């Protein structure tokens, strides 16, 4: 599947993928969306998923993105606190 989203710093892709896998407790970044869908009870499967509603598909991505943003903010706050000590 082609990625449509582009990172401002392309070199950060590997780190973001590792964060995605870690937060979703998946073995690989590619498996992250399946783990999130499973936890949410959404029947996402590898291959064609035309049976999913737009809301279901968006819920998976939104959940993953939200978790990643929260973690990045938490890390930035911790880094700022350490610098200000």
Which pTM was predicted? 0.73
Give the model's pLDDT for residue 21. Answer: 92
- Asked whether the predicted pLDDT for residue 1 surpasses 90, the reply is no
pLDDT tens for 4-58 read 667 788 898 899 999 999 998 899 988 999 999 999 999 999 999 999 999 998 9
**CA nearest neighbour of 22 among 77, 64, 61, 62:** 64
Give the model's pLDDT for residue 4. Answer: 66
Q: For residue 80, give both structure tokens.
A: 């700022």
**Residue 40 to residue 59: CA distance in whole angstroms:** 9
Instruction: Indicate the DSSP class of residue 8.
Output: S
- Asked whether the predicted pLDDT for residue 76 surpasses 90, the reply is yes
Give the model's pLDDT for residue 3. Answer: 57
């Amino acid at each position: 599947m082609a990625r449509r989203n582009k990172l401002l710093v392309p070199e950060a892709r590997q780190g973001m993928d590792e964060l995605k896998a870690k937060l979703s407790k998946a073995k690989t970044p590619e498996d992250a969306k399946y783990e999130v869908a499973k936890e949410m009870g959404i029947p996402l499967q590898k291959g064609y998923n035309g049976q999913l509603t737009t809301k279901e598909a968006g819920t998976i991505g939104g959940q993953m993105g939200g978790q990643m943003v929260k973690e990045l903010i938490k890390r930035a706050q911790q880094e700022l606190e350490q610098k200000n000590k």
